[in-house]
Chains A and B, each alone.
Chain A
Amino acid sequence: MRDVAIVSFAQARSRRRDLEHNEVEILMPVVREAMEHSGIEKKDLGFVCSGSSDYLAGQSFAFVMGLDSVGAWPPMCESHVEMDGAWALYEAWVKIQTGQADSALVYGFGKSSMGDLPEVLALQLDPYVATPLWPDAVSLAALQARLCLEQGVLTEREMAEVAARDRRHALANANAQVKGEFDVEKLLAEPTWISPLRRHDCAPISDGAAAVVLAAGDLARGACERPAWIAGIDHRVEPQDLGVRDLTRSVSTELAGRNAGVGRGRVEVAELYGPFTHQEILLERALGLGDDVRVNPSGGALAANPVMAAGLIRLGEAARCIHEGSAGRAVAHATSGPCLQQNLVCVLEGR
């Protein structure tokens, strides 16, 4: 395997509803910033890969406009996944591994505010037997949380503690959307929203974008003082049908974490994409993270959740900890699909 690192990361400030900018306008300064920080010139980029969803934009081929933010001229070797940008990063990492590219620009973007996100996500379900019942994404997560509570896997207090922790961390993150000091007792005194979930258990709805530059070997060393080397990366999917899955754990995260080598060393920082508090707890356990791990120093998805970019942001935030020297080994995670159906885990190291 070639040594490949995240050498640069930029993101837009997450906003509940960005009425002034379309996706390209949100993306453009982000791509420019990531490229400038890397010092790699556009003409020297080996590959470009992006992640986005037509159903967020409400338009077919919504990703085509992303090309305008890159200024893909002369024509570029470019691809796109209809997935979170984290999987675009995986595709780019694979491309570099083939030796066909030495560097790549990766970006993810989306404006969830354009529609009713929980209902839009209901369209991810089996169109013949599940979608006609129109179970929205929050209700499905609530079913999972209920199962976890009833089986004694976790408690409402633990969930509230996750919310308070992440949003306290977010105070230091200028790009986060929901932040502050919250008292766990007060949170627990709040009424449930979609039982057993309270408002604080759910990620906000966000518009945003993120971009990352990957580079191999000496190119990475030249582009970044302390590159965040990808020591391991893997992703796994589970069947979607909730009835055939063990919803009280994340089997695909466990598997991806093992394959990525999470347990091969001490983890200092973990950036986890848990759109709901109980899911973040399941993820911590699936990855075997101990109490000494700093989880979501950025605030995580509970502080800002620009769907299709939020997973890539976890990778970028974990890389930032390596770049800045606040961690020597970090784990980043991304998820997709109802109730943590698909998960990606990446181990980053400073060397």
Chain B
Amino acid sequence: MAERCAVIGIGQTKHDVKRTDVSMVGLVREAAERALADAELDWKDIDAVVLGKAPDMFEGVMMPELFLADALGGAGKPMLRVHTAGSVGGSTGIVAASLVQAGIHQRVLTVAFEKQSESNAMWALTIRMPFSVAVVAGAGGYFAPLIRAYIRRSGAPEDTGIRVALKDRRNALKNPYAHLQFPDISFEKIAESPMLWDPIRYLETCPSSDGACAMVLAGEKAAAGAPGPPAWVHATEMRSEPTAFAGRDQVNPRAGRDCAAALYRKAGISDPRRELDMAEVYVPFSWFEPMWMENLGFAPEGQGWKMVYEGATALDGDMPINPSGGVLSSNPIGASGLLRFAEAAMQVRGQAGEHQVEGARKALGHAYGGGSQYFSMWIVGSDRP
């Protein structure tokens, strides 16, 4: 790595089902202005802009970075638009970090957003193409059979998913930006909520959200002048594999395992569960928490659910997962990955407020997408690597 990179500014919007008070322009600016304010910088201080979002059909605008360029202070600057399916938020942060690490720019603004209320994600995900399998069931219909396979393989108790959802929904109450806030949430309420895609219940699934997230990434010189404590990027990694082929393990995909292994190697981590203080992991359906605990190497295969049962993933557990409430509580799809990365950075900067993990110094941000085939991850720390 040629140059060290640090997060020096973070901003996010209030996530909601319909942000009718703002246009797409207003939404991305809300997050970007907060990130700039956090870093005490102005638009003119930014060298380049990297924008990420999921499929353009979610808003009905082709390559929206073009019409957003001016609003994001892009005029006369380099601007990139990343799209790697659901993992895009993470990939966007990684591309922005690489511009700093390559020594090309000192201050890069990275923004990811989704304004799902502009269109209909279910429609956008189910367009039938000739000679190809149509999912026609949205993401839940795609992932439910994978969860069933996980339950069969691991013998996990049927209420594991409910426990994850209860934890994340309680965590969300400590996060003022979270979309779903259920003050009277309980185990029973989740258990009794309608079954959408067996075994995924209504309250075990993520919402459709409007929202955006932004970060200012800086080189060493710029980070030295930053007002707040920087979150140093210790390592970034991405892996992709094709959607379908004989023998592909979609429950515990190799792309995720390889990505995590390469990431830990780069960050000099040999025992991730012990050495990391917390993680923000992309969990759109409650059951993906135990599944990703195994994929990330926090638990041996087949035993991720035990971490949930033992309370290890709770805010006061030994490996807090998604103190922000996670994707289950806010899901502006294109931004969801960058939110995971940003929340990890907030933790090691000690700025997570009520959902702060005490003494967090090293944290992991994780995103995945497509048919569990795209992975992007980073590790940030309060210490300079």
Contact = CB atoms under 8 A, between A and B. Distances in A.
Nearest to A234: B78
A65 to B, nearest CB: 8
Interface stretch (A78-86, A190-198, A321-329): A78-86
Given A54-B57, A74-B258, A124 B62 contact: yes
A125 interface: yes
B66 A98 contact: no
Contacts of A77: 237-240, 262
Contacts of A238: 69, 75-76
B74 interface: yes
Nearest to A122: B62
Contact of A237 (B24, B75, B102): B75
Given A58-B127, A73-B245, A81 B82 contact: yes
A71 B91 contact: no
B104 interface: yes
A79 B78 contact: no
A83 B254 contact: no
Interface string A172-183: 000000000000
A99 to B, nearest CB: 6
A78 B240 contact: yes
Contacts of B65: 82
A234 B104 CA distance: 10
A311 to B, nearest CB: 13
A91 interface: yes
Contact of A76 (B99, B102, B118, B239): B239
B67 A125 contact: yes
A97 B77 contact: no
Interface string B225-249: 0000000000001111111010000
Contacts, number: 188
B70 A98 contact: no
Nearest to A255: B76
Contacts of A90: 80
Given A61-B370, A237-B78, A239-B75, A67 B242 contact: yes
A128 B23 contact: yes
Interface in A199-238: 234-238
B242 A71 contact: yes
Given A64-B243, A125-B67, A98 B2 contact: yes
B316 to A, nearest CB: 35
A94 B124 contact: no
Nearest to A75: B255
B238 A337 contact: no
A123 B253 CA distance: 36
A36 interface: no
B149 interface: no
A8 interface: no
B55 to A, nearest CB: 4
B91 A240 contact: no
A184 interface: no
Given A82-B56, A83-B81, A342-B66, A99 B1 contact: yes
Contacts of B95: 79, 91, 94
Task: Select the residue from B61, B91, B125 with max chain A CB neighbours within 10 A.
Answer: B61
A96 to B, nearest CB: 8
Contacts of A1: 103
B242 A72 contact: yes
A321 B105 CA distance: 31
B162 to A, nearest CB: 30
Contacts of A158: none
B57 A60 contact: yes
B79 interface: yes
A239 B69 contact: yes
A81 B83 contact: yes
Interface string B40-82: 0000000000000011111111111111011000111111111
A143 interface: no
Contact of B241 (A67, A124, A237): A67
A53 B62 contact: yes
A53 B239 contact: no
A236 B77 contact: yes
Nearest to A47: B238
A187 to B, nearest CB: 32
B241 A75 contact: yes
A240 B242 contact: no
Contacts of B2: 97-99
A328 to B, nearest CB: 26
A273 interface: no
A72 B240 contact: yes
A126 interface: yes
Contact of B99 (A22, A94, A99, A128): A94
Nearest to B55: A60
20 contacts: A58-B129, A60-B56, A60-B125, A72-B240, A72-B242, A73-B241, A74-B258, A75-B259, A79-B84, A87-B81, A90-B80, A99-B2, A100-B98, A100-B101, A123-B62, A127-B118, A131-B61, A238-B76, A239-B70, A342-B79
Interface of B: 1-2, 23-24, 54-67, 69-70, 74-85, 91, 94-95, 98-99, 101-104, 118, 124-125, 127, 129, 131, 237-243, 245, 253-255, 258-259, 262, 370, 373
Given A73-B245, A77-B262, A342-B69, 12 more contacts: A54-B57, A61-B85, A75-B255, A76-B240, A97-B98, A131-B61, A235-B78, A238-B75, A241-B70, A337-B66, A342-B66, A342-B79
Interface of A: 1, 22, 48, 53-55, 57-61, 63-65, 67-68, 71-83, 87, 90-91, 94-95, 97-100, 120-121, 123-128, 130-131, 234-241, 244, 251-252, 255, 336-338, 341-342
